[in-house]
Structure 1
Amino acid sequence: MPFLVLVPLVLIVVWIISTYNFFVSSKARIKAAVQEIGNQLKRQADLIPNLESSVKGYLKQEKGIFKMLTDARRQIDSAVKSNDVQKMADAGSQLAAVLPKLQIMVEDNPEIKSDSVVGKLMDELRDTSDKVMYARRLVIDLTADYNVKRATFPTNIVANMFKFEEQKGLITPESGEHVEVSASETKTPKVNLE
């Protein structure tokens, strides 16, 4: 008879431990994915000066793109130092917006396009950009999985028992949602490249 009482009790304890471990490991995986975003953004930012110095000699008149690249690099450095997920996402988006313009500039100038160093740097930037997108997707997926488990029965009992808080992840606008842009975000960055 004590065996019949003990088995369900052991199963409940095992389930609680398993659920607790899920929340702990999910938080660690989310943190690691956020750090990977920071690592890849930092790598992109480190590639920019090499690319700039390789291309600058060819195009003195394209300072606007270099200003945007420098501003994006500065924003990435700041975001990585702050370890703020949303700042990292915003910085990555800013850099992702500049890279196609740089690609067009390179393609429009045959002497740059034929430079193997520039081509290699552009490939590395694209590759790193893909890795950032993958890491962002991973953070979004891990956060969603964690938050769904945290909110649904019966795992929410364990989440509340051990005070597991909701994970914010990356804040992205919902489809059709109005996005606020501050005045500082619309200013042209001032950078001296000489």
Structure 2
Amino acid sequence: MYTLIFFGIVAIVLIYGISLYNNLVSVKNAVAKAWANIDVLLKQRHDELPKLVEVCKQYKQFEQSTLQKVIEARSQVQSAGNRQDIDALGQAEGMLRAGLGRIFALAEAYPELKANESFMQLQSRISNLENGIADRREFYNDAVSINNVHIEIFPANILAKMFGFDEKTLLVFSAEEKMDVNLQQLFN
């Protein structure tokens, strides 16, 4: 009788442990899926930016330093994304967003550029990608939060340590990087 009770308890603990492990795997994969969704949009934007820069270059008066900053930021975003370095990605994203804001703001000063159909299509496409990235970033951060909570709560934290489930980093931008572009400063 005691043997049956012992094996019953062992079976319950084992089933509970398997359930916890499977839950940890599930939240880890949710983080990976959320990151993949961001990565897809980053790659799409990465492919669109050279087209936007090329259209802008066709206007000789257009500010070359602005274009150079966007090109450099684009490279940093891609590099950080490939390394999955969330902190570096947050910084590079801020630089890229500021550069894009500057391009779009400066386009107001160049009526020919602003009226260019290719520029307008690219501007719209990139703006839509920016909105998509913001949405996916929120989804990624939700998945990371769920992952981090699951690996910290007892008794899942024991299994998390045993099987190497680790805490993930939230993708955040500094307050300065989230501010709107100061148009007055751009034209001074």
8 Å CA contact 1:38–1:83 kept in 2: the answer is no
The worse-fitting range, judged by mean Cα deviation, of 54-63 and 118-127 is 54-63
TM-score, normalised to structure 2's length? 0.77
Offset at residue 8 of structure 1 (A): 5.5
Separation (CA, whole Å) in 1 of partners of 2:11 and 2:128 = 49
Separation (CA, whole Å) in 2 of partners of 1:104 and 1:159 = 48
Alignment deviations for residues 15-68 of structure 1 (CA, whole Å, 9 cap, x no partner): 322221121122222123223333322222221111112122224241121111
**1:119: which partner in 2?**
120
Letter of the structure 1 residue corresponding to residue 77 of structure 2: I
What is the RMSD of the two structures over their aligned residues, measured on CA atoms?
Answer: 2.6
1:9-158 residue pairs with structure 2 within 5 A? 9-158=10-159
**2:178: which partner in 1?**
none
8 Å CA contact 1:23–1:146 kept in 2: the answer is yes
Structure 1: runs of 5 or more not aligned:
176-194
Structure 2: runs of 5 or more not aligned:
176-188
8 Å CA contact 2:52–2:119 kept in 1: the answer is yes
Separation (CA, whole Å) in 1 of partners of 2:165 and 2:74 = 35
8 Å CA contact 1:42–1:80 kept in 2: the answer is no
User: Structure 1 residues 32, 53: closer, same or farther in 2, change over 3 A?
Assistant: same
Separation (CA, whole Å) in 2 of partners of 1:114 and 1:172 = 32
Percent sequence identity over matched residues?
Answer: 27
Separation (CA, whole Å) in 1 of partners of 2:50 and 2:158 = 51
Q: How many residues align?
A: 174
Separation (CA, whole Å) in 2 of partners of 1:172 and 1:54 = 29
Offset at residue 3 of structure 1 (A): 7.3
Alignment deviations for residues 47-95 of structure 1 (CA, whole Å, 9 cap, x no partner): 1111112122224241121111111122123223333232222222211
The worse-fitting range, judged by mean Cα deviation, of 114-123 and 79-88 is 79-88
User: Structure 1 residues 88, 65: closer, same or farther in 2, change over 3 A?
Assistant: same
Q: Which has the higher helix share?
A: 2
Secondary structure of 1:66's counterpart equals: helix
Separation (CA, whole Å) in 2 of partners of 1:19 and 1:97 = 43
